[in-house]
Amino acid sequence: MMPPRLSWLISATAALAVSMPVMSSSLAASEEVNLYSARQESLIKPLLEDFTKETGIEVRLLTGKADSLLQRLRQEGRNSPADVLITVDAARLHQAQEADVLQAVESDVLRENVPERYRDPEGMWFGLSSRARPILYHKDRVDPDELSTYEALTDEQWEDRICIRSSSNVYNQSLVAAMVATEGAEAAQDWATGIVDNMARPPQGGDRDQIRAVADGVCDIAIANTYYLGLMLDGEDDDREVAEQIGVFWPNEDGRGTHVNISGAGVTANAPNRDNAIRLLEFLSSTEAQEWYAEVNQEYPIRDDVPASDILQGFGEFKADDIELYRLGNHNAEAVRIMDRARWR
Ligand code: FE
């Protein structure tokens, strides 16, 4: 129970804020929002500073690995100081939702800014940036005319020529989950088995390592997220030299399109600063924030009215799989089983 004097203080303060606009900036300075982010600090800090400048709300940022942040939220339970969780991949957002650490949010701004397929239908989470997972190929050793679909990569022609990371990685789990949702479990199983047959080496490393392996001649084809290639092209000389050898092929153009996923955020179940949390999410979906994401992290804005970076535009236009991303989480467990059965390490 709140002591009566404290509740009086709060309502008096609220009244002051309305009747004395001069006071509002100093009052706002005591406002805060606590953010748990699975994205590294450099990928979000400048945006948070802009948010504070614009709203007077201080942001306290805690960064960590996606799984440990979720674990922490679970353990803290009702006592968690967190207001917002930011993480990557719809499967992880779904996981957080299933763990009951998020709450539903009603916001016209978010509904307007975030396309339906990039948010949870109940408002438990919202996409903030998107990334595609197309086929990457070595420009000298592969003619793009030989490429067509993800499925066609299981043809004999590609035996010992494909690099892709481990099945423990959520990006591949979601890629297979999308296949389960649209093509069915049997087709997804055939695909996973066929890809394992055509791997040039047992899965190792992250997406960047697959891109480097293509450049090094270990393999001719990789499947990886677009921002890794974009960041390499935008990076140091060594990285750029590698990335310039790589072409982007948009698969399944005549079918469901290229697999796309998101980074996203939700308001935590017991957010002490719920209103500020919603304001932060709304800010992150604003034109200004979306432009920043596109330029700094080479991700696609979730909004059609914000252009992608020049580098991403250089990869060409493509058809994105328009599956509602909340469905991926439902198929995650099956996707993992399918990859296990295929002995995809
Ligand atoms: Fe990543």
Q: Do domains 33-131+261-308 and 132-259+317-341 have the same CATH topology?
A: yes
Judged against a pLDDT cut of 80, whether residue 20 lies above it is answered with no
pLDDT > 70 fraction of the chain, expressed in percent and rounded:
92
pLDDT > 90 fraction of the chain, expressed in percent and rounded:
88
User: 283: which 2 tokens?
Assistant: 């800010």
138 C-alpha to ligand 1 centroid (Å): 21
128 C-alpha to ligand 1 centroid (Å): 14
233 C-alpha to ligand 1 centroid (Å): 16
Q: How confident is the model at residue 329 (pLDDT cuts 50, 70, 90)?
A: very high
48 C-alpha to ligand 1 centroid (Å): 21
Tens of pLDDT along 50-60?
999 999 999 99
The pLDDT of 101-118, averaged and rounded, is 97
- Domain segments of the chain as ranges: 33-131+261-308, 132-259+317-341
The pLDDT of 136-156, averaged and rounded, is 98
Judged against a pLDDT cut of 80, whether residue 200 lies above it is answered with yes
302 C-alpha to ligand 1 centroid (Å): 17
* Lowest model confidence (mean pLDDT) among 22-36, 136-150, 265-279: 22-36
Residues 6 or more apart in contact with residue 202 via CB below 8 angstroms: 345
204 C-alpha to ligand 1 centroid (Å): 15
Q: How confident is the model at residue 6 (pLDDT cuts 50, 70, 90)?
A: very low
Class of the CATH domain delimited by 132-259+317-341: alpha beta
pLDDT confidence of residue 169: 95
Give the number of other CB atoms < 10 A from CB of residue 306.
18
pLDDT confidence of residue 19: 35
199 C-alpha to ligand 1 centroid (Å): 21
6 C-alpha to ligand 1 centroid (Å): 45
226 C-alpha to ligand 1 centroid (Å): 9
Tens of pLDDT along 225-279?
999 999 999 999 999 999 999 999 999 999 999 999 999 999 999 999 999 999 9
| Residue 12 CA: distances (Å) to CA of 16, 19, 28, 58, 200 | 6, 10, 15, 22, 69
CA distance 216 to 120: 41
| Residue 251 CA: distances (Å) to CA of 24, 136, 228 | 53, 10, 18
Class of the CATH domain delimited by 33-131+261-308: alpha beta
Average confidence score pLDDT of the chain: 92
The secondary structure of residue 129, as a DSSP letter, is E
236 C-alpha to ligand 1 centroid (Å): 18
Q: How confident is the model at residue 1 (pLDDT cuts 50, 70, 90)?
A: very low
Q: Are 98 and 329 in contact (CB under 8 A)?
A: yes
68 C-alpha to ligand 1 centroid (Å): 16
Cβ-defined contacts of 112-119 (< 8 Å, 24+): 113/282, 113/285, 113/286, 113/302, 113/303, 114/285, 114/302, 114/303, 115/302, 115/303, 115/304, 116/324, 117/322, 117/323, 117/324, 117/325, 118/262, 118/264, 118/302, 118/325, 119/264, 119/326
131 C-alpha to ligand 1 centroid (Å): 9
Q: How confident is the model at residue 2 (pLDDT cuts 50, 70, 90)?
A: very low
263 C-alpha to ligand 1 centroid (Å): 9
Q: Report the SS3 class of residue 94.
A: helix
Query: If you count DSSP H runs as helices and E runs as strands, how many of each does the chain have, helices first?
Result: 16, 11
Judged against a pLDDT cut of 60, whether residue 7 lies above it is answered with no
